[in-house]
Amino acid sequence: MNNVVTLEEKGSDIVLLTMKDEVSKNTFSPELLQGLQQAFSHINQHPTYKVVVMTGYDSYFCSGGTQEALLSLSEKEGNFTKGGIYSMPLDCRIPVVAAMQGHGIGGGFVFGLFSDYVILGRESVYTTNFMKYGFTPGFGGTCILREKLGLGLAQEMLMGADTYRGEDLKQRGITFPVYPRDQVLDKAMETARLLAEKPRVSLITLKDHLVEDIRQKLPSVVEKEVAMHNKTFHLPEVKERIKTVFGR
């Protein structure tokens, strides 16, 4: 991989994917995007891996789009679908356990939710803050938040664009486990080891069955998200908000 996304084998059947772009704080920089594409390509071609554990570094899991990328989108330069980054955990052949020990921001939080298992950090912040900048959600967020969090909480997070600690979401009744940040990766590895006891073919077959509906509906959802972006992303107010509010 490159120097911001690494793969570490934990035995012959578990692989640890770590995102560590300290310069961009794990926003979707070109280096992070390239590293993720290379990592998942390698994982999908490997014949013995059974489980992926995906994590970030320190207090960051994944921080979503860079300011430069958002400004480019506001100028009608492309859209978020390039490379299919958002759905890589969903499309991965084997189960993915997201050890979201750190903050998950915007598309970064959505990215983690496409995993098969999600573990959050009690102290960390999670938000789908698209509407904070005035543009409608993307990255498949309008699909996966409903699937993983339920309609009520999904509407609240997507429309309100507020921030939530892992402990806040636990109190709201999410089904994901929430642990102190320094315990999240260990708990994820426990889950991975439990899964790795099963035959690889059985894991792949069952994952295909369990996520079939989401895989089928996602393309049409993303198409509608892009259509909404065409209405909302190019508003002058949005560009100004990206310039002045980003990172706050």
pLDDT in tens, 79-122: 777 767 889 999 999 999 999 999 999 999 999 999 999 999 99
* Owning domain of residue 33: 5-181
Nearest-10 Cα torsion for 126, 35, 133, 176: -20
Asked if pLDDT for residue 76 goes beyond 80, the answer is: no
Report the candidate in 68, 213, 87, 75 with the shortest Cα–Cα distance to residue 138.
87
Quote the pLDDT of residue 42: 97
- The answer to whether residue 244 sits within a structural domain is no
- The answer to whether residue 199 sits within a structural domain is no
**What percentage of the chain has pLDDT greater than the value 90?**
83
pLDDT 10s digits, 163-180: 999 999 999 999 999 999
- For residue 116, give the CATH number of its domain: 3.90.226.10
Asked if pLDDT for residue 234 goes beyond 90, the answer is: no
- The answer to whether residue 195 sits within a structural domain is no
- The answer to whether residue 212 sits within a structural domain is no
Per the DSSP assignment, residues forming a β-bridge with 97 are 53, 117
In total, how many domains does the chain have? 1
pLDDT 10s digits, 15-52: 999 999 999 999 999 999 999 999 999 999 999 999 99
pTM for this model (two decimals): 0.95
Catalytic residue status for 229: yes
Quote the pLDDT of residue 129: 94
Asked if pLDDT for residue 77 goes beyond 90, the answer is: no
Quote the pLDDT of residue 145: 97
- Distance from C-alpha of 245 to C-alpha of 98, rounded to nearest angstrom: 28
- The answer to whether residue 113 sits within a structural domain is yes
Catalytic residue of the set 42, 103, 209, 229? 229
Q: Which residues contact 35 (CB under 8 A, 6 or more apart)?
A: 1, 2, 4, 5, 19
Pairing of strands 14-19, 5-10: antiparallel
Under 8 Å between Cβ of 10 and 17:
no
Quote the pLDDT of residue 72: 85
Query: What is the mean predicted confidence (pLDDT) over 56-85?
Result: 84
- The answer to whether residue 188 sits within a structural domain is no
pLDDT 10s digits, 177-215: 999 999 999 999 999 999 999 999 999 999 999 999 999
- The answer to whether residue 203 sits within a structural domain is no
Residue 58: pLDDT band with limits 50, 70, 90: very high
Query: What is the mean predicted confidence (pLDDT) over 125-145?
Result: 95
Quote the pLDDT of residue 117: 98
Residue 78: pLDDT band with limits 50, 70, 90: low
- The answer to whether residue 219 sits within a structural domain is no
Quote the pLDDT of residue 75: 81
